[in-house]
């Protein structure tokens, strides 16, 4: 029954609220009055029925008067009258004669403060706290003496949480739960006792769950203005720097002006980017690089550019914006993503082995100057037709190879040393002449010994002799990078070391001409 009764009250109040929204509005609504009704629940020595856990629940009605102090606070006077009670299923043991329940008529009067958590909104949660007094008449159950008592002016501390919804600056509704804590333990049966038994003393309290209708009047809406508040934004005109904002539509700051979250002087309701500061010409959206193109339309928001390239720069001026240019510091062609083709052969420089000379794709951008099928990038003799095996250079003639062998046979050293004998100089000069005929070639100078003596000593001697020949050729103008000297000791004989003639042939210096 109680739930059905509450539901009926709620539906009626909502219907009334829908009618009240059509009521006339006035700029002066400083005071507020609320009529409410609801249920009370007990907690004390006998048990607890808080939050509908034990029936029955008792009904009450109340009156609430409010006075605006600031956008966040209201002063309030509130009172309620109704019953509170509790009934156990059986008497307390081992004292079957003790009271098992009670029923009390309680009237409370309180004064306090209401704190509005969200000010200036249609839906406003709030907290309330206050102090006051109770007037109680209590009757105990199962009392053979029909005990009853009256208590006047009992201290009462109250606290509440509620939600208010405003249909208009004048009319609204509230849902609220209030706890009333008393500083005594008398109205549920204490200090009443039989014999020597007295129950534990827990101060009595009760909850009041209420639904109320709110009407605002006077100089300012309760919760809506300090004194006069024409725009109903919760800031009184006296303190309102923007007194003409539309009520319930625009969130405002403490000064009554429309909220500006990013502090760019453009209120949020006009700001397309409320959390990013920006100029007015872009409706509050930023232009980070200051190029006159807002970030949302700027392909390069952190680098100033032109409208032509949608906010991106073109550092090399080739008509390709840096964001699309793979060579942003060098002028290039769009077909190569901004990279150059210096020789104009259709192969971009990054892939062109000969970027300054036009060539073929097959030659990786290089030409074949001598037409020998070997492209210049790997052709050691670009002006002399040759073979791929010789890196584009011509074959060394057999007669030249014979001249090299003959000259090599005329090179002699002092015994056991790396000093070239003077009689060898003519043959070495012939080798210099041959090397000059083939400037693209390189030569390997190889030193050899017979098997007389220690292997390691022979290897060292052969290396030093090869080095001596290399030094002589360099002194005659042969570039060092064309010469390589290696000693092989006795490891590569060309004759039998068992004979003197064989040993003589094995003590030699060979020359190997290559490209």
Domain boundaries, given as residue ranges, for the chain: 2-217, 398-514
CA distance linking residue 361 with residue 368, whole number of Å:
12
Of 301, 311, 349, which Cα lies nearest the Cα of 338? 349
d(CA 98, CA 195) in angstroms, rounded, equals 10
* 39 vs 139: CA distance, rounded Å: 19
254 half-sphere exposure, CB direction, 13 A CA radius: 2
The listed CATH number (3.40.1640.10, 3.40.50.300, 3.30.110.40, 3.30.1330.60) that belongs to domain 398-514? 3.30.1330.60
Task: Tell me the three state secondary structure of residue 352.
Answer: coil
pLDDT of the residue at 219 = 53
pLDDT of residue 222: 44
What residues of the chain score a pLDDT lower than 50? 1-28, 91-99, 146-147, 191-199, 220-226
Whether 61 and 81 have beta carbons less than 8 Å apart is answered as: yes
The pLDDT score that the predictor gives to residue 399 is: 87
Long-range CB contact pairs, 240-248, < 8 A, 24+: 247/169, 248/120, 248/121, 248/122, 248/166
DSSP classification of residue 265:
S
This prediction has a pTM of 0.43
Query: What local confidence, expressed as pLDDT, does residue 6 receive?
Result: 39
What confidence tens digit (pLDDT) does each residue in 91-133 have? Answer: 444 444 444 677 888 999 999 999 998 766 788 999 999 999 9
Q: Domain 2-217 adopts which CATH fold?
A: Porin (2.40.160)
In the block, which residue shows the tokens 């409706």?
283
Angstrom distance (rounded) from CA 466 to CA 174: 110
% helix, strand, coil for the chain, step of 5: 20, 30, 50
pLDDT digits (tens, 9 = 90+) for 163-201: 999 888 789 999 999 999 887 776 766 544 433 444 455
pLDDT of residue 159: 95
- The per-residue pLDDT for 413 is 85
Closest CA relative to residue 293, chosen from 277, 276, 306, 280: 306
Tell me the C-alpha distance between 513 and 276, whole Å.
Answer: 75
- Dihedral sign from CA coordinates of 238, 239, 242, 245: negative
Cα of 57 vs its chain's centroid, Å = 53
d(CA 68, CA 257): 20
Within 10 A of 53 (CB to CB), how many other CB atoms are there? 10
Q: Are strands 205-217 and 171-182 parallel, antiparallel or unpaired?
A: antiparallel
DSSP conformation class of 452: S
- The closest of 61, 80, 185 to 130, measured between CA atoms, is 80
> What percent of the chain is modeled with pLDDT above 90?
43
């Amino acid at each position: 029954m109680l739930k059905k009764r509450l539901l009926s009250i709620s539906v009626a109040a909502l219907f009334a609220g829908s009618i009240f929204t059509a009521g006339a509005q006035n700029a002066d609504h400083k005071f507020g009055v609320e009529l409410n009704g609801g249920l009370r629940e007990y907690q004390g020595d006998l048990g607890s029925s808080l939050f509908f856990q034990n029936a029955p629940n008792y009904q009450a009605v109340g009156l609430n008067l409010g006075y605006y102090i600031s956008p966040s606070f209201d002063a309030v006077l509130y009172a309620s009258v109704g019953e509170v009670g509790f009934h156990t299923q059986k008497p307390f043991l081992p004292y079957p004669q003790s009271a098992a329940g009670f029923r009390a008529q309680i009237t409370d009067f309180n004064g306090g403060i209401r704190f509005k958590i969200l000010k200036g909104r249609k839906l406003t949660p709030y907290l309330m706290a206050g102090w006051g007094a109770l007037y109680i008449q209590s009757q105990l159950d199962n009392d053979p003496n029909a005990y009853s008592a009256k208590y006047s002016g009992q201290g009462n501390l109250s606290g509440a949480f509620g939600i208010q919804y405003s249909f208009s600056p004048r009319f609204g509704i509230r849902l609220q739960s209030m706890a009333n804590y008393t500083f005594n333990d008398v109205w549920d049966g204490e200090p009443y006792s039989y014999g020597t038994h007295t129950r534990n003393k827990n101060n009595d309290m009760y909850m009041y769950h209420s639904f109320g209708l709110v009407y605002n009047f006077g100089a300012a809406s309760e919760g809506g203005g300090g004194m006069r508040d024409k725009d109903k934004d919760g800031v009184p005109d006296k303190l309102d720097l923007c007194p003409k904002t539309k009520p319930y539509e625009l969130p405002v700051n403490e000064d009554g002006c429309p909220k500006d979250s990013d502090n760019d002087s453009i209120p949020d309701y006009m700001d397309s980017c409320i959390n990013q500061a920006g100029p007015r010409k872009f409706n509050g959206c930023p232009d980070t690089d200051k190029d006159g193109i807002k970030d949302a339309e700027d392909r390069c928001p952190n680098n100033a550019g032109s409208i032509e390239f949608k906010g991106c720069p073109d550092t090399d001026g080739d008509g390709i914006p840096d964001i699309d240019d793979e060579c942003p510091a060098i002028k290039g062609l769009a077909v190569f993503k901004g990279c150059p083709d210096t020789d104009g052969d259709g192969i971009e420089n990054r892939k062109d082995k000969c970027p300054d000379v036009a060539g073929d794709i097959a030659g990786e951008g290089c030409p074949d100057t001598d037409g020998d099928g070997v492209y210049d990038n790997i052709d050691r003799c670009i002006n002399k037709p040759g073979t791929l095996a010789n890196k584009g250079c011509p074959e060394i003639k057999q007669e030249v190879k014979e001249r090299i062998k003959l000259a090599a046979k005329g090179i002699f050293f002092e015994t056991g040393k790396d000093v070239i004998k003077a009689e060898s100089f003519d043959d070495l000069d012939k080798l210099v002449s041959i090397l000059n005929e083939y400037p693209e070639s390189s030569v390997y100078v190889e030193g050899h010994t017979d098997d007389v003596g220690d292997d390691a000593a022979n290897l060292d001697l052969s290396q030093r002799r090869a080095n001596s020949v290399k030094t002589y050729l360099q002194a005659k103008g042969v570039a060092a990078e064309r010469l390589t000297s290696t000693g092989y000791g006795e490891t590569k004989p060309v004759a039998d070391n068992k004979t003197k003639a064989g040993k003589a042939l094995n003590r030699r210096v060979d020359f190997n001409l290559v490209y």
